[in-house]
């Protein structure tokens, strides 16, 4: 960055650099933390078959003889099984990795489904208004009025547990949130001058919605997406915990937590590690979502990129 004006003393230069780094760091810490957590977990999940020590959902030879405390296969952490094994002798660490894979897969698919449906419904309702808006919003309200979990329970109870059914159940409960948000955005954007000019110029509704409204409506949706990813993971785990989701032998964090529930005192490792990773996953997504939101907000404010010099010197508008 060049400066055409004479700089003042060297104090000025130091101040400037310090101020800038502080601001940069502050911003990145949370984001970095979130990204690292989520990134690592995603990599683990995607590459689970290659990263896990016991690729076959944790099944494999165990040295049963090395844990004399229980007759069943539950063994505490050891060098062969870093997180121990569960009752059928399968390696917990591998199962956790596969469980992460399941959670992330379901979460991403569910959110994608919810976004697609939500955008379609919300943008259409918001843009056209009138009867279309009324009709679509009544439908949305009905869906929205059911508590997430209850609705998912009902759907799963009807369709039976299983991967696809969970997708449908969770997707059905999550789309209204996106629809609401998309509609609010559409309502505001359709009055903006560039939309009006486009309409006056004879551009068709579909084109306007797809090329003007959608790109401009995205940013709040991004925040919702990243936050919802974490929430869906939790919901899926809850369903599995209740026995309505994924069934063993498929690895799943919720299932593992359920199975470990009544053995917390004796097999602490079985309850601890799955829970720990589940928490990490959700926190990671939330951190990313929060920082995305903070990053987008300041962009909209006029005072973009300001450095809080006052924080350094203790007063506003201070002299040098």
Partner 1 sequence: MSVLISVKSLRKYFPVSGLPFAKKQYVKAVDDVSFDIEKNTVFGLVGESGSGKSTLGMSMIRIIKPTSGTVLMDGVDVSTLRGRERAKWSSQLSYVYQNPVSSLDPTWTVEQSVSEPLAAAHVPQGERKDMVLQSLASVGLQDYFLEKFPHELSGGQSQRVAIARALVRRPKFMILDEPTSALDVSIQAQLLNLMMDLQREYGLTYFYISHDLNVVGRVCDRIAVMYMGKVVEIADAWDLFSSPMHPYTQALISTTRFKSSNFLGFRLTGEPPSPRNPPTGCHFNTRCPYATSICFQEEPKLLVAKGDHAVACHNLELVAQGKIQVPQNFQPVSAGGNRPQGQVD
Partner 2 sequence: MSDNAELLKVTDLSLDYYTSQGITHALNGVDLSLKRSQILGIVGESGSGKSTLAYALTRLVPRNAVYRSGEVLFDGMSMLDLSEKELRGIRGKRISMVFQDPTTSLNPLFKVKDQIGRVLELHQGMSRAEARRAASGFLSAVELPDPDQVLDSYPFQLSGGMQQRAMIAMALSTRPDLIIADEPTSAVDATIQVQILELLSRLRREHEFSMLFITHSLDVVSAVCDSIMVMYAGNVVETGTVSEIFSSPKHPYTQALFSSIPRPRKSADEEKTLATIPGSPPDPRSLPSGCKFHPRCPYAFERCRTEDPAFRFVEPGHGVACHLY
Residues that bind partner 2 (CB under 8 A): 1-5, 8, 12, 16, 19-20, 23, 303-311, 315-320
**314 is in the binding site of which of partner 1, partner 2, none (Cβ under 5 to 8 A by kind)?**
none
Among 68, 130, 201, 317, binds partner 1 (CB under 8 A): 201
Give yes or no for a contact between 172 and 239, defined as CB atoms under 8 angstroms apart: no
Closest separation between CB of residue 113 and partner 1, Å?
Answer: 25
Binding region for partner 1 (CB under 8 A) out of 9-17, 64-72, 194-202, 257-265: 194-202
Strand-pair partners of 91: 85
Among 14, 154, 196, 312, binds partner 1 (CB under 8 A): 196
C-beta closer to partner 1: residue 40 or 207: 207
- Residue 236, number of CB atoms within 10 A of its CB: 27
Closest separation between CB of residue 202 and partner 1, Å?
Answer: 4
Q: Look up residue 73 and give its DSSP letter.
A: S
Among 39, 215, 243, 249, binds partner 1 (CB under 8 A): 215
Give yes or no for a contact between 58 and 251, defined as CB atoms under 8 angstroms apart: yes
Distance CA(201)–CA(218), nearest Å, equals: 25
By CB under 8 A, tell whether 144 contacts partner 1: no
Give yes or no for a contact between 182 and 118, defined as CB atoms under 8 angstroms apart: yes
Binding region for partner 1 (CB under 8 A) out of 53-61, 92-100, 128-136, 193-201: 193-201
The Cα angle at residue 312 between residues 306 and 315, in degrees rounded to 5: 85
Closest separation between CB of residue 16 and partner 2, Å?
Answer: 6
Give yes or no for a contact between 104 and 41, defined as CB atoms under 8 angstroms apart: yes
By CB under 8 A, tell whether 194 contacts partner 1: yes
**138 is in the binding site of which of partner 2, partner 1, none (Cβ under 5 to 8 A by kind)?**
none
User: Minimal CA–CA distance to 217: which of 120, 290, 85, 145?
Assistant: 120
Closest separation between CB of residue 294 and partner 1, Å?
Answer: 20
Q: Look up residue 6 and give its DSSP letter.
A: P
Distance CA(291)–CA(302), nearest Å, equals: 19
| Helix orientation angle between 130-145 and 163-189, rounded to the nearest 10 degrees | 140
**19 is in the binding site of which of partner 2, partner 1, none (Cβ under 5 to 8 A by kind)?**
partner 2
C-beta closer to partner 1: residue 191 or 316: 191
Among 23, 27, 199, 293, binds partner 1 (CB under 8 A): 199
Distance CA(123)–CA(239), nearest Å, equals: 31
Note the residues at the interface with partner 1 (CB under 8 A).
Answer: 192-194, 196-204, 207, 211-212, 215-216
């Amino acid at each position: 960055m060049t400066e055409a004006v004479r700089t003042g003393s060297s104090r000025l230069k130091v101040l400037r650099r310090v101020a800038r780094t502080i601001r940069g760091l502050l911003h990145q810490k949370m984001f970095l933390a979130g990204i690292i957590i989520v990134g690592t977990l995603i990599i683990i999940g995607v590459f689970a078959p290659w990263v896990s020590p016991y690729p076959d959902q944790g099944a494999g030879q165990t040295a049963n003889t090395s844990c004399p405390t229980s007759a069943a296969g539950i063994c505490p952490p050891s060098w062969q099984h870093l997180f121990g094994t569960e009752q059928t002798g399968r390696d917990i660490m591998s199962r956790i990795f596969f469980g992460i894979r399941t959670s992330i897969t379901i979460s991403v698919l569910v959110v994608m489904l919810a976004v697609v449906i939500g955008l379609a419904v919300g943008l259409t309702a918001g843009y056209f208004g009138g009867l279309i808006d009324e009709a679509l919003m009544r439908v949305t309200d009905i869906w929205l009025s059911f508590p997430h979990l209850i609705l998912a329970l009902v759907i799963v109870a009807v369709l039976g547990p299983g991967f696809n059914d969970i997708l449908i159940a969770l997707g059905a409960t999550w789309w209204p949130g996106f629809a609401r948000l998309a509609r609010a955005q559409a309502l505001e954007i359709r009055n903006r001058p560039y939309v009006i000019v486009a309409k006056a110029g004879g551009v068709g509704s579909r084109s306007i919605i797809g090329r003007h409204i959608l790109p401009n409506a995205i940013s709040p949706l991004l925040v919702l997406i990243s936050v919802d990813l974490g929430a869906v993971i939790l919901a899926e785990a809850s369903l599995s915990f209740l026995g309505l989701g994924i069934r063993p032998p498929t690895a799943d964090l919720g299932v593992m937590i359920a199975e470990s529930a009544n053995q917390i005192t004796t097999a602490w490792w079985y309850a601890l590690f799955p829970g720990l990773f589940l928490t990490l996953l959700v926190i990671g997504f939330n951190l990313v979502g929060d920082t995305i939101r903070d990053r987008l907000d300041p962009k909209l404010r006029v005072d973009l990129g300001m450095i809080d010099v006052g924080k350094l010197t203790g007063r506003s508008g201070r002299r040098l």
